[in-house]
Amino acid sequence: MALTPEDLKNLRRQRLISRAVAVPLSFFVAATARLRFRYGLADAARLRTEIWAKLDAHDGPVIWAANHLTLIDSFLVYWAIFPMSRVLEDRLIPWSTPEYTNYYKLGGPFKAGFIRALLYCCRCVPFLRGGEDAASEAWRQKAYDKCVWLLRQGGSVFVYPEAGRSRSGWFEARRPKDFLGRMALDVPNAKILCVYLRADEQLATTVRPPEGSVFRVHCDLIEGARPGETNPREVSQRLFDRIAALQNEWWRDCPHPKNCAGNDAVDLKAPLLQENFSEDLSDADPEWLERHLTPRELAGLRAKSGADFFRTFWRVFAAKEACHKALARAGLTMPNGAFRELEVDLFRRKAVHVPTGLLLDLRFTDDDEDKLHCLAVLRGGFIGDETAEGDVVWDICEVPPGVSPGAFARERALEFIASCNDELGGPAALALSEDGGLPTVLWRGKPQDWSLTLSHSGRYAACAFMVS
Amino acid sequence: MAFMRKQAVIEATDINTLPPDEVEKRITAGVKKYATNEANFAQADGNTPYLGQIIGMGIESSNLADITMSIERQFLTKLTTKIPVTDGSAEYKLAPGELGKLRILDGQDALAATPGLSVKMLMDLGHMPSSASYLDKVVSFAYIMACGDGWKMADALKKMTAKAEKLVGTERADAIANVKALAAQARDYDALLADAAKLSAAKQKTYLNDKASCDALDNELNVVLDKIKGHASGGDAAAIAKLRTEEAEVRTRLKMSAAKLRVSKDVAEAAGRRRPIEEQKVAEVRKALQEAVSAAQTLA
């Protein structure tokens, strides 16, 4: 869909107005960040020196691509990258593509008017992510065409490669979106400014980061489409990989663990597991079910019949327990018995922590007549699926008779970890520490960010850890 | 439909006819079949945690709801009249009425980590009269958790030291490096337990994190309300209905978050107020930590 002369006229006018107000607006953004929200930037001078050396060496268009956790990320990234001394460099001030429904109808007429005017001056081209109808499709295409036109004019455009805020708080490189690659191919002389910005205390997606947050930023300017590249997915994958690498660099300096996974084993033949079920295992005490399941989970369970009812309940339960451990690793402890704070979707293999909205990936590694073993990953790597190996390694085995299952699970975990890597030098070089109630592997006296998780149930003990 | 649990017939008793010690005894007896650590269960008192193998009864998390339901089955209460929390709300609180089944509502058992804390919960909820002399013997949730972490650390260090003693050569050197790291961690934790103010400050951090989560949800709710306001003038009924659903979801999240905030606030406050029973429990775990550190130092 070609842009009409009217569209181009409007874009040129918006560019002119935004250029005129660039200085006061940049002051406004910086002052709001510093004074209203008490935000800070770690090592901003070094970051800006390094990235501007690269930006100055490139006189073509730039696509800004950043991770996305809050509704004000565009402002934060702009503030972090752009020093006041550069705000007259019009070509490099990026155009943004905010979601229309999130920003353009906020509050009463006065507030909405102010926000619209602010977004207009901040070079925003509203985008519509939802809607499959022709009008929505046309809107998306036009917004995309405007971005391409601006880039071809030598300008800069800001996009979020994930096309939305990350619900897990993790930038997942294995799920690239094609539009970034498509944009790079449409403007072959564009370079990509990859940015990973985050505050240490930013766990989940929020409206804005907590007050007083100090942001650490990792960024790099890389090639867009390489000569010979024609496949948008291929280009996107390369760009996603670069942002993921920046993400890993960011986590290296973070005081919190990067890897957050959990597991849970269920011995389906353990007699206590059947206690609240009917004799044929096709139904259960409704009060007991309600203590564990959300109304949506309960509705899903009620659709099951026969012994599948029993098995499905314990699948959901194992998923919740695994998620509980993954969240605890991220510093998010759940009150005892708060099973309904987690909602599991077995079909999509996802679970959501209701209070924070954090989304976790699920995977059942063992699901047979005797046992279940579920993995949950919040962040740190890929959980794996039928087609690709993940970053989580696990082991489940029977507990020898007469042995304490907890102690066995611990010993077995160290043996298993040692067997996975010859460099470790055997299980004797490893130990388990108990930090905040969570097992952490020590290797030669140093704690490892492997997110070890242990579980035992009836005859089985299991462990899992992350190798990313 | 016959549930297997119904094989055990329990005669429920009016909780107000029983002294707190008897309630505690019955609560402990009620969870016997879930306790996988029989030795600890045999010696259990009101301050023995339900969960955990080192000093706990070894009840597994899959039976957490069974603990609460076991309490509900054993006692009758006069708090049986359901009153909606707000007009038209499906949520309710309990007010005095006819003697009937005791109900522990969602989230009310969040701090009931021991039989003593379960009794305290029943007192706090008004199912039975509060007894200061009984509560003096009950270790707070904050200290149950803090001491539990200490016992785990001491146990891990003791086991590691015992293991390292048997090793030779490079393996021994590696193991000793681990023992040293664990000993340093245990020493730090011992110092933390020694100072109630420091412990409270550490728990305060969790409280502040939870408060930040609550504030973030407040912001989220304000954005949704702003969107509703923004759409109201356009008259887009479908969009408004969708936003109303979103608003309800955020309010549910906010409610859960507020419940957790109450727990972490209680914990932070209780950690700073150490009573004689808690001094005693702290002294026990500190002794275990110091012994483990001493053995580790001897080896190293």
- For chain A, the structural domain boundaries read 5-252, 260-466
Angle at A269 between CA A267 and CA A273, to 5 degrees: 75
**Structurally, what CATH architecture does the domain formed by A5-252 represent?**
3-Layer(aba) Sandwich (3.40)
**A51-68 mean pLDDT:** 95
Band of residue A197 on the pLDDT scale cut at 50, 70, 90 = very high
Measured between CA atoms, the residue of chain A closest to residue B3 is A278
ipTM value for the complex: 0.89
Residue length, chain A?
A: 468
Measured between CA atoms, the residue of chain A closest to residue B213 is A356
Give the Cα separation of A154 and B191 in Å (integer).
61
**Residues 29 to 48 of B: which have CB under 8 A from any A CB?**
33-34
pLDDT value at A433 more than 60: yes
Is the distance from CB of B197 to CB of B269 less than 8 angstroms? no
Q: Which of A19, A224, A61, A52 is nearest to A156 (CA)?
A: A61
At A227, list the tokens: 């000569």
Cβ neighbors of A321 (< 8 A, separation 6 or more) are A262, A264, A374, A455, B61, B62
Looking at residue B193, its amino acid is: L
Residue B5's pLDDT is 55
Burial of B290 (0-12, 13-18, 19+ CB in 10 A): middle
Give the Cα separation of B24 and B17 in Å (integer).
13
A374 to chain B: which residues are within 8 Å by CB?
none
Give the Cα separation of A431 and B179 in Å (integer).
8
Residue the block writes with tokens 């094989």: B7
pTM of the predicted protein model: 0.91
- Dihedral (CA of B160, B166, B167, B172) sign: positive
A291 to chain B: which residues are within 8 Å by CB?
65, 68-69, 106
Side-chain half-sphere CA neighbours of A80 within 13 A: 29
Looking at residue A432, its amino acid is: L
Each domain of chain B, given as residue ranges in start order, spans 4-138, 139-300
- CA–CA distances in Å: residue B97 to residues B14, B19, B100, B104, B129: 13, 21, 8, 16, 16
- Dihedral (CA of A64, A70, A71, A77) sign: negative
Contact B1 A275 (CB under 8 A): no
Residue A334's pLDDT is 84
Which among B5, B217, B263 is the nearest to A276, CB-wise?
B5
CATH number of A260-466: 3.90.470.20
Is the distance from CB of B28 to CB of B44 less than 8 angstroms? yes
- Dihedral (CA of A152, A154, A158, A160) sign: positive
pLDDT value at A394 more than 80: yes
What percentage of chain A exceeds 70 in pLDDT?
Answer: 100
Residue the block writes with tokens 């209680």: B266
Residue, of B206 and A261, whose pLDDT is higher? A261
Residue A255 φ then ψ, to 5°: -75, -15
Residue A278 φ then ψ, to 5°: -70, 165
B226 to chain A: which residues are within 8 Å by CB?
106-107, 111
Residue A387 φ then ψ, to 5°: -100, -25
Give the Cα separation of A40 and A99 in Å (integer).
26
Is the distance from CB of A268 to CB of A281 less than 8 angstroms? no
Residue A353's pLDDT is 95
Residue B1's pLDDT is 46
Burial of A153 (0-12, 13-18, 19+ CB in 10 A): middle
Looking at residue B156, its amino acid is: A
Which among B61, B113, B212 is the nearest to A321, CB-wise?
B61
Side-chain half-sphere CA neighbours of B142 within 13 A: 27
Q: Which of A299, A312, A420, A418 is nearest to A364 (CA)?
A: A312
Alpha helices (H) along A125-231: 134-152, 178-186
Is the distance from CB of A456 to CB of A462 less than 8 angstroms? yes
Cβ neighbors of A464 (< 8 A, separation 6 or more) are A261, A262, A263, A375, A392, A393, A394, A395, A452, A453
Contact B226 A331 (CB under 8 A): no
Side-chain half-sphere CA neighbours of B79 within 13 A: 20
Residue B233's pLDDT is 74
Band of residue A399 on the pLDDT scale cut at 50, 70, 90 = very high
List, edge to edge, every strand of the sheet that includes B13-14.
B13-14, B75-84, B92-101
Measured between CA atoms, the residue of chain A closest to residue B251 is A355
In total, the C-beta contacts within 8 angstroms joining chain A to chain B are 181
Alpha helices (H) along A373-429: 405-420
Contact A431 B156 (CB under 8 A): yes
Is the distance from CB of A212 to CB of A41 less than 8 angstroms? no
Is the distance from CB of B12 to CB of B101 less than 8 angstroms? yes
Residue of A102, A200, A207 to mutate, testing the B interface (most B Cβ within 10 Å of its Cβ): A207
Give the Cα separation of A205 and A415 in Å (integer).
38
Give chain A's end-to-end CA distance (angstroms, integer). 43
Residue length, chain B?
A: 300
Is the distance from CB of A68 to CB of A164 less than 8 angstroms? yes
DSSP annotation of A394: E
Q: Which of A100, A145, A138 is nearest to A119 (CA)?
A: A100
- Dihedral (CA of B1, B6, B9, B10) sign: negative
Average pLDDT, chain A: 93
B236 touches chain A (CB under 8 A): no
Helix orientation angle between A134-152 and A178-186, rounded to the nearest 10 degrees? 40
Q: Which of A330, A341, A246, A258 is nearest to A292 (CA)?
A: A341
Measured between CA atoms, the residue of chain A closest to residue B236 is A105
DSSP per-residue letters across A243-306:
HHHHHHHHHHT-SS-S-EEEEEEEETT-GGGGTTBBTTSS-B-HHHHHHH--HHHHHHHHT--T
Predicted confidence pLDDT, tens digits, chain B (300 residues): 445 554 556 788 999 999 999 999 999 999 999 998 999 999 999 999 999 989 999 998 888 899 999 999 999 999 999 888 777 777 788 889 999 999 999 888 989 999 999 999 999 999 999 999 999 999 999 999 999 999 999 999 999 999 999 998 888 999 999 999 999 999 999 999 999 999 999 999 889 989 999 999 999 999 999 999 888 877 778 888 989 999 999 998 998 899 889 889 989 999 998 999 999 999 999 999 999 999 999 987
How many other C-beta atoms can be found within 10 angstroms of the C-beta atom of residue B75? 23
**Residues 172 to 211 of B: which have CB under 8 A from any A CB?**
172, 174-175, 177-182, 185, 206, 209
Contact A101 B229 (CB under 8 A): no
Q: Is A281 left (phi over 0), alpha (psi -120 to 50) or beta?
A: left
Which among B109, B112, B160 is the nearest to A431, CB-wise?
B160
At B218, list the tokens: 């407040």
Alpha helices (H) along A124-177: 134-152
Residue B262 φ then ψ, to 5°: -65, -40
Which among A287, A317, A355 is the nearest to B213, CB-wise?
A355
B2 touches chain A (CB under 8 A): yes
